[in-house]
Amino acid sequence: MADAPKLVNLTVDGKAITAPAGTLLIDACKNAGIEIPSFCYYPGLSVQGACRMCLVKIEKMPKLQTSCTTVVGEGMVVTTENDEIHQARKSMLELVLANHPLDCPVCDAGGQCELQDMTFTYGAAESKFVDIKNHRDEQQWSPVVYFDRPRCILCYRCVRVCGEGMDVWALGIQQRGVSSVIAPNMEDHLECEECGMCIDICPVGALTSGAYRYKTRPWEMNHVATVCTHCGDGCVTTLGVRRSDTGMEIMRGDNRDKSGINGDFLCIKGRYAFDFSKEPERITVPLIRRNSKLEPATWEAAFELIASKLKEVRDRDGGQAIGVIGSNRTTNEENYLLQKFARLVLATNNIDHHRTADYPGFVSALAGTQNMTASMRDVASAPAILLIGNDPTEQHPLLAWQIRNNVRLNKARLYTVNSNQIKLRRQSTVFHLISAGSEGAFAQFLVGNDSAASSVGDPQALNSLRDKLRGEQGLVIAFGSEIRGEHIKPLVQFAQSVGAKLICLGDYANSRGAADMGLYPDLLPGYYPVSQLTGSKDEDWMGKAPKQPGLTLQEMFSAAAGGRLRALYVVGSNPVARYNLDPFALKNTFTVVQDMFLTETATLADVVLPAANAYEKGGTFTNTCGDLQRLQKAGDVTTVKSDFEIIVRIANAMGYDVHGLVPFAPGLRADMGQTRGAESGEADRHKVWLTRQGIEPKLSPFDPLALLDEIQRLVPGYEVSRLNLMAGNDQHTQVPDIGSGELPSHPELIVPSEDTLFTSGTLGRYSKTLNSVMENDRAVPEDAGIPAD
Amino acid sequence: MRFSDQLETRIATMLTHYPVKRSILVPTLLFVQDEVGYLSDEAIAEVAKRVELTELEVRNVISYYSMLSLKPKGKFNIQVCTNICCMIRGGESIFDHCKKKLGIGHKMTTPDGLFSLEEVECIGACSWAPAMQVNYDFHENLTAEKVDAILDDYKRKAQQ
Ligand code: SF4
Ligand code: SF4
Ligand code: SF4
Ligand code: FES
Ligand code: FES
C-alpha cells in the first residue's frame, strides 16, 4: 500500500479546507460541502473540461479556471460564486441553449434534468440568438437506446462511461466545433452491451430509453429501491412504479442515487428486464386440471385441493412419497419457509433446487477458517484479484464492472485463468489460457502440486504466475462453477497461505440464499446435515425434521417414474426441461407448480398457482458473495400471491398451526417466556430473542420479516446488523464454520444456467427487451437448452 | 488489406516512436489516404486493427480533420480558407471564384475527377491571407487572377 498522500490546505469562499494532494478542486469543494455546478465532470470518469460550468476564481491566476481540471494547491484561495462567475456560467448556459429545442414538456428528462436545474439557478432562459434552431429527428440506435441530437449538450459523459466504464467503446464523437455529434459504433445503430449506462448518465434528455420514453414523468412515479432479480450479483435497482389497472406497474429501473453495492451500474437486465411482469402470457389466476385441461379456479378451491391431496399422500404413503423443488429466485424467507414446510408439514427431506454452484463444497472447504469470503465491495477495492473460470462480462456483469473499475481507477492487478479468451483479459495483468476442464488442476498446482501443471499449460508461465500470486497481499479470488467438489479445498488452502478472500460464483439472483436456507435433501438452513443434528439446534424445529436424507431433484424424478413419488410441489422452477427429465415420469404424481408462466413443468401440473415475482414482494436476497440485501415491494399484480403467502396458506389448509412455521405474534395470552422459563417453547424463545434484539413481533403470518428474525437467530453467519439491512445497506454474511467433517456436496448435480448478458432463465424467455436486442442470440451455447429457474 | 512496402516500413518505424500504438493514428491515416486516395471502409478497418482502436474511434478522428476524407476526392483537393483573417481579406470571394471557375460547390468534385473543392477553417496561413491549400501545397495572398493561374498550372500538371 502506498503512503497516504499528504494534505493540502486551501481556502474556499473564506472557509479553510484540507484535501489530499492531487484531489480535483471540484471534489475538494464537494467534500467540504460546497457544490460547484458541472455538466461534463463525472466522478470516476476521466476529466473532460468541456462544459465550463465549473468556473471558479482562483487568486493569482488569470481568468476564471475550470475547477474540474484544477488540482488543489497549497495556499490556494478560491471563490466559487460572485457576479463575474455567475455571469460566466450564465453565458455558458446561453451557448448550450442556443440550439437546444427547449422541449421540456415532452422530454423524458423533464423534472430530473440537470440543464433545467441550472437554467433555473442562473436564469439563462432568454437568449440573444435569433438564428433558426437546427432540428434533427430523433434516431433509434437499438431497442433500448434512442438519441435526440438537438438536446445533446456535448458533455461526453456517455462516450466516457461506455468506453472507460463499460469497456465497450460503442459511442464516439464526430465532427468538431458546433457540428460535433455523438455517434454510435455501427453508423446508424449500436451494437453493444445495451446496458443503458449512457442513457442514465446523460444529464439531459438526449439519450432516452426505449422502455421508458414518453410513457410517464418522473414525478408521477414512486421510486422503490430493491434488488435485481436476474444474476447473482445483487445490484440495487430503483424501480419507478405507477398505479395501473391491475395494481402497480413498473415503469423503469435505474440506480441514479448510487445506493447499493453497484453504485450507478446496472446491466441491461437490471435496468430493463422487469418487463416479464407485464407479459400477457403471465398466469394471473390459479389453474386446476379438470378433464385433462388446466382451467381457471379460485384460490380457495386450489388450496383445498392441494391440501387434501398432500395430506392424503403424506398420511397414506409417508413424507418420502412427496417431493419439493425450490427456486433460485425466491427470497431467503421463502426458501427457508419452503424447506421448513417440507420438513415439518410434509414430513419429508425430499427437497432440492437447481444447483449452479457447489456451496456445500465451499462451506466444507472453509471449515475451521474465519472471515475468508469477500464481499462485492471488496472486489472494487482489493489490490489484486484472481479470477478462475467463469466469464463475468456475460454471467456476472456487476463483478466485471467492479473489476474493471478497480483496475482502471486503483491500478489493481487482475490475474485471469480461463479456458476462453474472455473479455476481461483486456484488464488482466496476467491472462493465462488453460485447456477446458483443467481449472481444478490449476487449483492443485497453486498449493504446490507441480505435477498438476502438465495438464494446465506451460509450466514456466504457470510458475511465474504462482510466484506473483504468492506475493500478493489482500488478494480476492473469484472462481466459477468449473471449480467444485474436491478442487475447492486446495484453493482455500492457497487463499489461507496468502491471506486471500474468496468468492464462489453461482448463477441466479438468490442461488446463494437457496443454498444457505437449506434447499437440500441432506442439509438444513446453515448447512446443518439433517442426519447429525447436535446441540441446541435440536431444541428448535430443526430437531423435529426427519433425520433420513431425502431425494435429490433427479432422484425425485426417477422415484416418480417408478411410482414411488406420489406428489410433487415445485416453487419457481422448471426442472423438466432443464434436466431432460422424462415428462411422463409425472403422469401419476400429483404435481403443484407455483410460477409466473406456463413453463414446461407447469403445463404438466395438476394445479398451477400464479406467483408474484421478486419485484412484487419484500424479503431478502443473498448475492453470490454472501452479501445480504433487502427487497422491497415495487410492482403489484393484485390477483397473484407471493410464494410466502401461498406456502403459509397451503400449510393452514392442511390443518397445520402456522405459528409453528412463521413465528408471528401469538396473540393476547403470549407471555415473554418468563413464566415458563426463557428457553421453553419455540414461539416463546423467539419472543425472548426479539425482545433482546429490540425487534417488534410481527402481526401477520404473511410477513417475511417474521421469518427473517428466525433466520438471523438460527442460521450462523446471518447475525448481521438489522438496522443497516433495513436501511437498505448490504450486509456481508459469513459462511458457517462446520468445524470438521465434510458436507454432502454432489458436484455432479451442478448445472450452470448458461445465461449470457442477454438471457436470464425463465424470466429472460418472457422479457421482450432481452429478446428484442440483436445481441441476444450471440454466444448462447447451442445445447444450453431450456433454463430451470 | 495490404499497404505498399514503403508505407509498411513507415508504419513500423513510427510504431517505435511512441509507448502506445494509437499515437501513430493521425500520420498513419494521412499516409494511407495518400496511398489509397481516400479512407475507405476497408482502410479504416485495417488501421483500427493495427493501432488497436475501434473503427468508431478511427472514424471520430477522421471526422475531426478536414484533411482526412471518407470519400474519394479529385486529384487536386482545393481547400479555401474562409476563417476570420482570410474572410476579412476576401477569402469568401476567392471561394466563390473557385466555385464559378470549376463549376462545382462545397465538397464536390469536377466530373473529370481532377479537382475537389472545399471551404475550410483556418489553415494557419493567416499572415498571408487569403490562403488556400491544394493537397499539401499552400498558395497565399490570393487574388482571382492568381487563382486562375494556379488552377491552370495544376491542369497542365495533370496532362503531363
Ligand atoms: S447501452 Fe451501454 S454499451 Fe451500449 S452504448 Fe450505451 S453505455 Fe455503451
Ligand atoms: S448525449 Fe447526453 S451524455 Fe452524451 S454528450 Fe450529449 S448530453 Fe452528454
Ligand atoms: S449485474 Fe446482475 S444483479 Fe446487476 S443488474 Fe445485471 S443481472 Fe442484475
Ligand atoms: S465540469 Fe468542468 S468543464 Fe465541465
Ligand atoms: S484565417 Fe485563413 S489561414 Fe488563418
A274 belongs to a structural domain:
no
**CA gap A785, B18 in Å, rounded:** 49
**CA gap A262, A260 in Å, rounded:** 5
Minimum mean pLDDT range among A57-66, A334-343, A570-579, A602-611:
A570-579
Mean pLDDT computed over A123-135 = 81
The dihedral of CA A108, A114, A118, A121: what is its sign?
positive
Give the contacts of A669 (CB within 8 A, at least 6 positions apart). Answer: none
Asked if A266 and A259 touch (Cβ cutoff 8 Å), the reply is: no
Name the percent of chain B lying above pLDDT 90.
94
Atom of ligand 4 nearest to the CA of A37: 1
Q: What is the pLDDT of residue A674?
A: 44
| Tally of domains within chain A | 4
Going by C-alpha positions, the residue among A206, A175, A8 that lies closest to residue A107 is: A206
Residue A4 has pLDDT above 80, yes or no: no
Atom of ligand 5 nearest to the CA of B82: 2
Q: What is the pLDDT of residue A692?
A: 76
pLDDT tier at A683, thresholds 50, 70, 90: low
Q: What is the pLDDT of residue A390?
A: 97
Single out the residue in A505, A531, A557 at which a domain terminates. Answer: A505
Name the percent of chain A lying above pLDDT 70.
95
Q: Which residue of B lies nearest to A170 if distances are taken between CA atoms?
A: B56
A161 beta partners: none
Element containing residue A323 per DSSP (H, E): strand A322-325
What are the DSSP calls for A191-205, one per residue? -S----HHHHH-SSS
**CA gap A479, A492 in Å, rounded:** 11
Ligand 3 proximity of A234 Cβ (cutoff 6 Å): yes
One-letter amino acid of A233: D
**Atom 6 of ligand 2: nearest residue by CA position:** A152
Whether A175 sits inside 8 A of B54 (CB atoms) is no
What are the DSSP calls for A413-463, one per residue? EEEEEESS--GGGGG-SEEEE--TT-HHHHHHHHTT-GGGGGGTS-HHHHH
Query: Which structural domain, as residue segments, surrounds residue A346?
Result: 287-356+521-732
Residue A1 has pLDDT above 70, yes or no: no
Examine the domain organization and report whether A500 and A548 are in the same domain: no
Single out the residue in A209, A229, A254 at which a domain terminates. Answer: A209
Q: Which residue of A lies nearest to B55 if distances are taken between CA atoms?
A: A185
Whether B63 sits inside 8 A of A170 (CB atoms) is no
Work out the number of other CB atoms within 10 angstroms of the CB of residue A670: 12
Single out the residue in A695, A713, A732 at which a domain terminates. Answer: A732
SS3 A472: coil
Examine the domain organization and report whether A437 and A375 are in the same domain: yes
Ligand 2 proximity of A154 Cβ (cutoff 6 Å): yes
Which burial class, exposed, middle or buried, applies to B34 when counting CB atoms under 10 A from its CB (0-12, 13-18, 19+)? exposed
Considering only CB atoms, which chain B residues are within 8 Å of A169? 54, 56-57
One-letter amino acid of A495: A
Residues of A with CB under 8 A from a CB of B: 169-177, 183-185
Examine the domain organization and report whether A438 and A547 are in the same domain: no
pLDDT digits (tens, 9 = 90+) for A716-738: 999 999 999 999 999 999 999 99
Q: For residue A319, what is the domain's CATH number? A: 3.40.50.740
B54 interfaces chain A, CB cutoff of 8 Å: yes
**CA gap A527, A743 in Å, rounded:** 8
Asked if A100 and A115 touch (Cβ cutoff 8 Å), the reply is: yes
Q: Which residue of B lies nearest to A171 if distances are taken between CA atoms?
A: B56
**CA gap A756, A120 in Å, rounded:** 44
A150 belongs to a structural domain:
yes
Half-sphere exposure for B18 (CA within 13 Å, toward CB): 12
The rounded Cα A292 to chain-centroid distance in angstroms is 39
What are the DSSP calls for B87-128, one per residue? HHTTHHHHHHHHHHHHT--TTEE-TTS-EEEEEES--S-GGG
Mean pLDDT computed over A375-396 = 98
Report H helices in A147-216: 157-160, 197-201
Give the contacts of B54 (CB within 8 A, at least 6 positions apart). Answer: A169, A170, A172, A185, B48
Examine the domain organization and report whether A469 and A583 are in the same domain: no
A770 belongs to a structural domain:
no
Examine the domain organization and report whether A157 and A31 are in the same domain: no
Point out the ligand nearest to the CA of residue A205.
Answer: 2
Examine the domain organization and report whether A111 and A36 are in the same domain: no
A312 belongs to a structural domain:
yes
Q: For residue A15, what is the domain's CATH number? A: 3.10.20.740
A758 belongs to a structural domain:
no
Asked if A350 and A344 touch (Cβ cutoff 8 Å), the reply is: no
From start to end of A343-421, where are the E strands?
A: 351-352, 384-388, 413-418
- Distance (angstroms) between ligand 2 centre and the Cα of A552 equals 53
Q: What is the pLDDT of residue A2?
A: 53
- In order of start, what are the domains of chain B with their CATH numbers? 5-64 (1.10.10), 76-159 (3.40.30.10)
Give the contacts of A3 (CB within 8 A, at least 6 positions apart). Answer: none
Q: What is the pLDDT of residue A739?
A: 85
Asked if A502 and A372 touch (Cβ cutoff 8 Å), the reply is: yes
Q: For residue A172, what is the domain's CATH number? A: 3.30.70.20
> Mutate which of B53, B58, B63, B122 to test chain A, going by most A C-beta atoms within 10 A?
B63
A604 belongs to a structural domain:
yes
A136 belongs to a structural domain:
yes
Q: For residue A455, what is the domain's CATH number? A: 3.40.228.10
Please tell me the distance in Å from B57's CA to the nearest CA on chain A.
Answer: 6
Ligand 5 proximity of B88 Cβ (cutoff 6 Å): no
Residue A711 has pLDDT above 70, yes or no: yes
From start to end of A13-134, where are the E strands?
A: 15-20, 55-58, 65-66, 77-79
Mean pLDDT computed over A589-608 = 96
Examine the domain organization and report whether A31 and A160 are in the same domain: no
**CA gap A646, A702 in Å, rounded:** 9
Sheet holding A627-631, edge to edge: A619-622, A627-631, A731-732
Asked if A370 and A126 touch (Cβ cutoff 8 Å), the reply is: no
A117 belongs to a structural domain:
yes
Rg (CA), chain A: 28
Residue A709 has pLDDT above 60, yes or no: yes
Point out the ligand nearest to the CA of residue A118.
Answer: 4
Ramachandran bin of A177, using left for φ above 0, alpha for ψ from -120 to 50, beta for the remaining angles: left
Residue A659 has pLDDT above 80, yes or no: yes
Q: Which residue of B lies nearest to A187 if distances are taken between CA atoms?
A: B56
Return the higher-pLDDT residue of A194 and B2: A194
Considering only CB atoms, which chain B residues are within 8 Å of A171? 56
pLDDT digits (tens, 9 = 90+) for A247-288: 999 999 999 989 899 999 999 999 999 999 999 999 999 999
Examine the domain organization and report whether A17 and A77 are in the same domain: yes
pLDDT digits (tens, 9 = 90+) for A304-326: 999 999 999 999 999 999 999 99
What are the DSSP calls for A230-266, one per residue? SSTT--EEEEEEEEETTEEEEEEEE-TT--STTTT--
pLDDT tier at A534, thresholds 50, 70, 90: low
Examine the domain organization and report whether A399 and A469 are in the same domain: yes
The dihedral of CA A642, A644, A645, A651: what is its sign?
positive
**CA gap A660, A664 in Å, rounded:** 9
